[in-house]
Chains A and B, each alone.
Chain A
């Protein structure tokens, strides 16, 4: 197809504008591409001189930093298992059983989950956790996130299961399978992509969260990496930039990897619903 000259100019202008916006978005992040590999990194943008991986070695030698990553992992995995299992069962029931009032349940859940945000409910969450004697434990963070993420996870998954024909389970039952066999042999494998999506979504949410662990945890040995990074740069006076840059990059890697995994597996658009 041949373009007219104004259309051609217009297209170049569009591309230039898109590229410019992309560059502006990139600016605050550029520093992260270089500083972790710079032996003398400072807050300014500079090409590493010399290039080094020593910063990463330092991070892995710092027991507090490693412990914090491990804590993040425990909390995220614990939360993901709870959310994944509970949401799968609940969404399946909401989609496939004819329990009376399930529409109302879904509506109320959605309403509450959007009303009770972490920053509005921090006081009662703190009080409940301390009343339960769970203050300063991984379990407190895991349970709080599981409760908070479940309504959305259930909703995403219920929609997914609704879109799967019931004839899968029906044909299994006609063929002689019990409801339990039909669930494990047929339904569960078929809805697995949906489960993967909510698992990734929950993991990214818990891994990256700051406020809830900040409030519910006290001791250094329980802090996740998010709180650790915050205290590194906010409280330590002059932050040790080299360590912090490398550490932040390591901490971001799982999120980046999961994002790439999801966009490779489900296509780019699926990620639109993945963060709330």
Chain B
């Protein structure tokens, strides 16, 4: 196991900058998820770690050694591909044992080791099948087995669960979590699914347009998203963002928006600085922090009801503030919610997130 470090890494494809001056440090034994929408540079970053792309500028270190221009085969890493890349002409035993074959291990030994790993992954009984003769979930586990069959410094995962159906994905996710606890491997895991990242990672790097927007633990990212982009990307449904007019009145922060009533918030230096630039702020509240309230209550958002979806243990209540600016509340009840045409949703001050006009988080008191 080893650490991974990016130092000012940039990767351009012609005019397009896929990764832009990115630096980070991944410690030994960490499980880091690169999370972001497609085209954000997460897969390119992973491929540069693997040596499948060469940075345009910057340096990459694995275990303290510079590997920036090293051929993939010389990096001693393992990788699971999105399409699994199982060799169609080899049976599972040969597929899983292939990394040992190129390392020159004798047949008996490498097949023995492959069987051990396959047994752990519950595919040991399929060793003489071809990849085309097994199910999608089994293919996924085979590609995982091929990565685990030899001791690598770093394990790289490129959206390994995205080709599985929802149920299998949950199962595989749980298994990966278990594996990480068991082995304590250093892993870098690319995904666009925030739930996957939250469930697996010790730390998440949220990427957008070639930059790392926030690099922190899942809890931190959930509690204190550093930008509106992160706030909007993590959480399901995503955080509600309401554009508000902010002003300092009587030493308190007053916020104004259609349908919004809110007590004055405590002023801080950070808020003052933001207001100095622009009075246009963004107020964020997570759906699970909204409740149903009486009309006229304080700290609420009131708007016409748009949708009321009962999901079993919870209901998603959406109101429409006009111009498709919708706010969704996640109400934990297994009862049917009987709602009037106009709904008032309430929240408390401690669950309010504030972002400045550039979308950057304004630290709350005590952050």
Residues of A with C-beta under 8 A to B75:
174
Q: Is B108 an interface residue (CB 8 A)?
A: no
Across the interface, do A170 and B52 meet the contact criterion of CB distance under 8 Å?
yes
Residues of B with C-beta under 8 A to A28:
none
Across the interface, do B78 and A175 meet the contact criterion of CB distance under 8 Å?
yes
Across the interface, do B102 and A175 meet the contact criterion of CB distance under 8 Å?
yes
Q: Tell which of A168, A177, A181 touches B85, judged by Cβ atoms closer than 8 Å.
A: A168
Q: Is B81 an interface residue (CB 8 A)?
A: yes
Q: Is A190 an interface residue (CB 8 A)?
A: yes
Q: Is B39 an interface residue (CB 8 A)?
A: no
Interface string of A161-205 (1 = CB under 8 A from B): 000010110111111111001000110011010000000000000
Across the interface, do A176 and B52 meet the contact criterion of CB distance under 8 Å?
no
Count, chain A residues at interface, CB 8 A: 18
Q: Is B103 an interface residue (CB 8 A)?
A: yes
Cα-based distance from A176 to B110 in the complex (angstroms): 15
Q: Is B98 an interface residue (CB 8 A)?
A: yes
Residues of B with C-beta under 8 A to A172:
98, 102
Residues of B with C-beta under 8 A to A190:
87-89
Given A170-B52, A170-B72, A171-B79, do A176 and B85 touch, yes or no (CB 8 Å)? no
Cα-based distance from A186 to B102 in the complex (angstroms): 12
Across the interface, do B83 and A176 meet the contact criterion of CB distance under 8 Å?
no
Q: Tell which of B81, B88, B89, B146 touches A170, judged by Cβ atoms closer than 8 Å.
A: B81
Across the interface, do A175 and B98 meet the contact criterion of CB distance under 8 Å?
yes
Across the interface, do B78 and A174 meet the contact criterion of CB distance under 8 Å?
yes
Residue of B nearest to A186 (CB): B87
Residues of A with C-beta under 8 A to B99:
175-176
Residues of B with C-beta under 8 A to A175:
73, 78, 98-99, 102, 146, 150
Count, chain B residues at interface, CB 8 A: 26
Cα-based distance from A167 to B101 in the complex (angstroms): 18
Main secondary structure, interface of A, reads helix
Residues of B with C-beta under 8 A to A173:
51-52, 71-73
Across the interface, do B89 and A174 meet the contact criterion of CB distance under 8 Å?
no
Across the interface, do A176 and B51 meet the contact criterion of CB distance under 8 Å?
no
Cα-based distance from A173 to B76 in the complex (angstroms): 10
Given A170-B52, A172-B102, A185-B98, do A178 and B83 touch, yes or no (CB 8 Å)? no
Cα-based distance from A185 to B98 in the complex (angstroms): 9
Cα-based distance from A71 to B87 in the complex (angstroms): 40
Across the interface, do B73 and A189 meet the contact criterion of CB distance under 8 Å?
no
Across the interface, do A170 and B85 meet the contact criterion of CB distance under 8 Å?
yes
Residues of A with C-beta under 8 A to B50:
170, 174
- Least CB distance from B236 to A in Å reads 29
Across the interface, do B83 and A165 meet the contact criterion of CB distance under 8 Å?
yes
Residues of A with C-beta under 8 A to B101:
185
Across the interface, do B102 and A181 meet the contact criterion of CB distance under 8 Å?
yes
Cα-based distance from A177 to B77 in the complex (angstroms): 12
Given A173-B73, A174-B52, do A167 and B102 touch, yes or no (CB 8 Å)? no
Residues of B with C-beta under 8 A to A171:
79, 81, 85, 146
Across the interface, do A177 and B88 meet the contact criterion of CB distance under 8 Å?
no
Residues of B with C-beta under 8 A to A170:
50, 52, 72, 79, 81, 85
Q: Tell which of B81, B89, B102 touches A176, judged by Cβ atoms closer than 8 Å.
A: B102
Looking at B99, B102, B156, which has the most chain A CB atoms within 10 Å of its CB?
A: B102
Cα-based distance from A171 to B146 in the complex (angstroms): 10
Cα-based distance from A185 to B95 in the complex (angstroms): 11
Residues of A with C-beta under 8 A to B82:
167
Contact sample, A vs B, 5 pairs, CB 8 Å cutoff? A170-B52, A174-B78, A175-B102, A185-B101, A190-B88
6 residue pairs, one from A and one from B, having the closest CB atoms: A175-B99, A167-B85, A171-B85, A189-B89, A173-B72, A177-B102
Besides the known contacts A167-B81, A170-B81, A176-B99, 19 further A-B residue pairs in the complex with CB atoms under 8 A apart: A165-B83, A167-B82, A167-B85, A170-B85, A173-B71, A174-B50, A174-B72, A174-B78, A174-B79, A175-B78, A175-B98, A175-B146, A177-B98, A178-B73, A185-B87, A185-B98, A186-B87, A190-B89, A192-B89
